[in-house]
């Protein structure tokens, strides 16, 4: 496997992604969705009171990215994390293009690495677009007033912006973990529907488990726990244990899922 080979795969996959309507729609939704949400909150009096920071939405625009973050954890992150990763490998099965790909001077390892890096890159890009758009929507539509945090402390705007940014950064490991899960589902099932749908179903199941007062060890080993680890950043004193825990768990999912997916791809009998 050479770096040049991996870069060549990344270049081809990136141009394929750019031509797909699906990826453009996802990025457009990530960019426009928070603005629609913030405007809707601005023009009516009801607030999403059952969500953390929901009551503060009309008082500070800096609550908007945190409310969006809370909503996105349910199914948006698993979906945007798997929309590309869950399709990259199975699309070759669907179109019957594996044999064509492998007759080029690229090894399976290079193809795997290039495709995985593209999937991870797209997931991170989608989360980045959603984060930037949520913050911009809050500031532009509602305003940059101070924010009351989860310990009742009034955070000045600059401090709140820093915490909001860190909160969004804290979900990146879990998004990466879900992308690895989607890659595995895509390779194992050879179906794009399963590659994209299975991670979302697994995420919803994990979220349901988190509602139950079950063993703490199991809750902490769920990849979705990392999506809520940011709460500690908005408390006083702040606590970072759940973020570290989420990163370790996501790292384990990443390593195990990619190792299994790579092994399956290496041992697959692909006929011309």
Partner 1 sequence: MRRSFARRVAGGVLASSAALVLGGCGQSPITPARIEPALEATFANLVELQVSRLRLPPIAAPDFAVTAICRKQLAGANAGAGDWTCSLVWQGPNRQTVRDTYDLFVATDGCYTATVTGESLGGPILKASDGSDVRNLLYTFEGCFDTM
- Point out which residues bind partner 1 (CB under 8 A): 49, 52-53, 55, 59, 148, 150-154, 210-221, 225, 228, 231-232, 234-236, 239, 241-242, 245, 248-249, 252, 255-256, 259
Q: How far apart are CA 41 and CA 54, in angstroms?
A: 10
- Closer residue to partner 1 in complex, CB, 102/150: 150
Query: At its nearest, how many Å lie between partner 1 and the CB of residue 143?
Result: 16
Query: At its nearest, how many Å lie between partner 1 and the CB of residue 27?
Result: 30
- Closer residue to partner 1 in complex, CB, 41/249: 249
Ramachandran sector of residue 241 (left: φ over 0; alpha: ψ -120 to 50; beta: rest): alpha
- Closer residue to partner 1 in complex, CB, 23/207: 207
| Helix spans in 83-191 (H) | 90-95, 98-102, 108-137, 157-170, 172-189
Q: Give the closest residue to 167 by CA, choosing from 54, 245, 66.
A: 66
- Closer residue to partner 1 in complex, CB, 107/191: 107
Q: How far apart are CA 73 and CA 206, in angstroms?
A: 11
Query: At its nearest, how many Å lie between partner 1 and the CB of residue 181?
Result: 15
| SS3 state at 20 | coil
Q: Are 168 and 131 in contact (CB under 8 A)?
A: yes
Query: At its nearest, how many Å lie between partner 1 and the CB of residue 249?
Result: 7
Ramachandran sector of residue 108 (left: φ over 0; alpha: ψ -120 to 50; beta: rest): alpha
- Closer residue to partner 1 in complex, CB, 86/242: 242
Query: At its nearest, how many Å lie between partner 1 and the CB of residue 82?
Result: 22
């Amino acid at each position: 496997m050479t770096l040049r080979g991996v870069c060549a795969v990344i270049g081809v996959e990136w141009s394929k992604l750019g031509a797909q309507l699906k990826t453009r729609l996802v990025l457009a939704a990530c960019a426009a969705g928070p603005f629609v949400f913030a405007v809707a909150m601005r023009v009516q009096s009801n607030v999403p009171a059952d969500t953390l920071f929901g009551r503060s939405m009309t008082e500070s625009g800096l609550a908007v990215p945190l409310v969006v973050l809370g909503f996105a954890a349910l199914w948006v992150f698993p979906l945007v994390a798997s929309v590309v990763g869950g399709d990259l490998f199975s699309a070759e099965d669907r179109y019957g293009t594996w044999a064509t790909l492998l007759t080029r001077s690229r090894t399976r390892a290079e193809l795997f690495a290039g495709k995985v890096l593209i999937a991870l890159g797209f997931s991170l890009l989608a989360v980045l677009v959603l984060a930037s758009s949520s913050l911009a929507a809050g500031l532009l539509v509602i305003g940059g007033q101070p924010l009351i945090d989860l310990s009742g402390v009034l955070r000045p705007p600059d401090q709140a912006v820093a915490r909001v940014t860190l909160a969004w950064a804290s979900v990146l490991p879990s998004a990466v973990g879900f992308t690895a899960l989607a890659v595995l589902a895509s390779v194992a099932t050879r179906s794009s529907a399963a590659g994209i749908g299975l991670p979302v179903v697994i995420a919803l199941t994990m979220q349901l488990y988190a509602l139950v007062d079950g063993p703490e060890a199991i809750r902490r080993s769920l990849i979705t726990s990392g999506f809520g680890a940011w709460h500690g950043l908005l408390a006083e004193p702040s606590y970072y244990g759940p973020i570290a825990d989420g990163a370790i768990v996501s790292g384990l999912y990443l390593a195990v899922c990619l190792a299994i997916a790579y092994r399956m791809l290496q041992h697959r009998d692909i006929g011309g």
